[in-house]
């Protein structure tokens, strides 16, 4: 089903259109980019934001949930954050503007605004389809980010941290990264709010993983309690490539995190691990579409969710196996702890299999803390509140520990523990 045509625009839709008209003169881009921006915004104007009548947006009625678009805000500060892992190189995008100009090691790095200005960005700037509201908004408004090229055989000795830092307002960024063959490394994509001012953030990462490359990519989203975060990652996984994708949501009021993953090379393997920490009245939607397009590929997806207060979460996971993708092995699981009677989490797993020699499956569980485990800990003198926090921490820490890098595991466990101390 496609995005609906509407004759009545909401306040947020009207604000987006007015903001575009005001900003179009300052948005970087040659004639082709400007024309594409105009078309994307015109589509938004004609069709409106998606409602629950759109299948992919059934649990996140963006037209009604996105009530306002914040006014432009001030500077988030001129310096990058300290990296999660000490000594890691950092590329910072502050209030939507790339601040690093030089390359990092063997990597070629330049501001995405340069690709917009010379028009080379136009091929990847378009929305993925008629229902791609995130791509449509981002393509209309994006100003900057980074374009990164990683040469064949490169090895990142330390995790590369790419920071997207803001202080409220509307911020739209992009991150195309092309990994050559036989690369090894870890990249942390970190989204951080520095103030309590409301923000509308859209971001698209477009990742190409070359033959034989072994990559770990971590998305850490820590937006503010009044922020809207519309995130999307697009991945093309090549022959014999291995990708470990970790997604951690630990912030935001309205969050839509889209994972558009294509396994296009034989022998490729994808590992997806997700942690959603939801509290207050946040609404967080993680929607994955994974396509196995060729034979002899594998994937495993495990999502862990902890939901407090009146928070609402969603995981939609679609695995599509093409007719030629024989010998595909794909497994998907989603496990949720509901910590409040008012908390909600919806799970929608889907399989579309057009090959006959495959192993595919999915499962989901929703539960509270195991009473036997809680009793066992309390019987040994641990107070109930602390025992609950320890059990919840163990539930999600199991995912993080798969990273195996001690410094990185310690840093992410610190993020999770700090969140639980605040919300539990």
Is 414 exposed, middle or buried, given 0-12, 13-18 or 19+ CB atoms closer than 10 A? exposed
Residues near 43 by Cβ (< 8 Å), separated by ≥ 6? 127, 130, 136
Spans of all domains in the chain = 11-423
Residue carrying the six token digits 């195996």: 404
Hey, what are 109's tokens?
Answer: 């790095």
Alpha carbon distance 292, 322 (integer Å): 6
Residue 2's pLDDT is what? 46
Residue 98 phi, psi (nearest 5)? -70, 130
Strands, sheet with 144-150, edge to edge from the N-terminal-most edge strand: 108-111, 144-150, 169-179, 199-209, 228-237, 254-263, 283-292, 312-321, 344-353
DSSP 154: -
Torsion of CA 372, 373, 376, 379, to 10 degrees: -90
C-alpha of 374 from chain center: 33
pLDDT along the chain (424 residues), means of 10: 58 92 92 96 92 94 93 74 93 92 81 96 93 96 96 95 94 97 97 92 98 98 96 98 98 98 97 97 97 96 96 96 94 93 94 91 82 73 78 88 93 94 82
Helices (runs of H) and strands (runs of E) counted in the chain: 9, 19
Pairing of strands 97-98, 90-94: antiparallel
């Amino acid at each position: 089903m496609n995005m609906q045509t509407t004759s009545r625009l909401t306040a947020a839709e009207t604000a987006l259109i007015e903001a575009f008209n005001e900003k179009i003169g300052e948005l970087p881009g040659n004639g082709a980019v400007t024309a594409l921006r105009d078309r994307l915004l015109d589509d938004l104007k004609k069709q409106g934001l998606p409602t629950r009548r759109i299948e992919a947006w059934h649990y996140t009625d963006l037209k009604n949930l996105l009530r306002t678009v914040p006014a432009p805000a001030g500077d988030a500060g001129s310096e990058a954050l300290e990296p999660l892992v000490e000594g890691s190189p950092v590329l910072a995008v502050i209030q939507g503007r790339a601040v690093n100009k030089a390359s990092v090691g063997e990597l070629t790095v330049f501001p995405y605004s340069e690709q917009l200005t010379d028009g080379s960005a136009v091929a990847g700037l378009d929305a993925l389809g008629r229902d791609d509201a995130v791509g449509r908004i981002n393509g209309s408004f994006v100003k900057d980010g980074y374009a990164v090229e990683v040469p064949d055989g490169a090895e990142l000795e330390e995790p590369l941290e790419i920071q997207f830092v803001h202080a409220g307002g509307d911020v739209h960024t992009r991150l195309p990264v092309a990994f050559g063959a036989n690369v090894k490394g870890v990249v942390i994509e970190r989204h951080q709010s520095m103030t309590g001012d409301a923000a509308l953030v859209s971001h698209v990462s477009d990742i190409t993983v070359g033959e034989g490359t072994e990559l770990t990519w971590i998305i850490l989203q820590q937006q503010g309690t009044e922020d809207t975060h519309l995130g999307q990652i697009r991945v093309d996984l090549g022959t014999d490539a291995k990708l470990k994708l970790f997604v951690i949501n630990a912030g935001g009021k309205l969050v839509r995190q889209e994972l558009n993953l294509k396994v296009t090379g034989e022998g490729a393997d994808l590992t997806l691990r997700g942690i959603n920490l939801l509290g207050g009245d946040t609404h967080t939607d993680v929607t994955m579409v994974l396509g196995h397009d060729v034979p002899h590929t594998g994937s495993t997806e495990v999502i862990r969710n902890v939901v407090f207060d009146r928070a609402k979460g969603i995981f939609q996971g679609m695995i599509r196996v093409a007719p030629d993708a024989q010998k595909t092995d794909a497994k998907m699981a989603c496990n949720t702890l509901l910590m409040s009677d008012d908390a909600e989490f919806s799970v929608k797993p889907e399989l579309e299999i057009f090959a006959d020699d495959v192993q595919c499956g999915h499962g989901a569980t929703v539960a509270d803390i195991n009473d036997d485990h809680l009793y066992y800990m309390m019987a040994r003198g641990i107070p109930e509140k602390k025992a609950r926090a320890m059990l919840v921490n163990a539930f999600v820490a199991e995912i993080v520990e798969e990273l195996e890098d001690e410094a990185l595991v310690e840093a992410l466990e610190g993020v999770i523990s700090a969140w639980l101390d605040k919300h539990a």
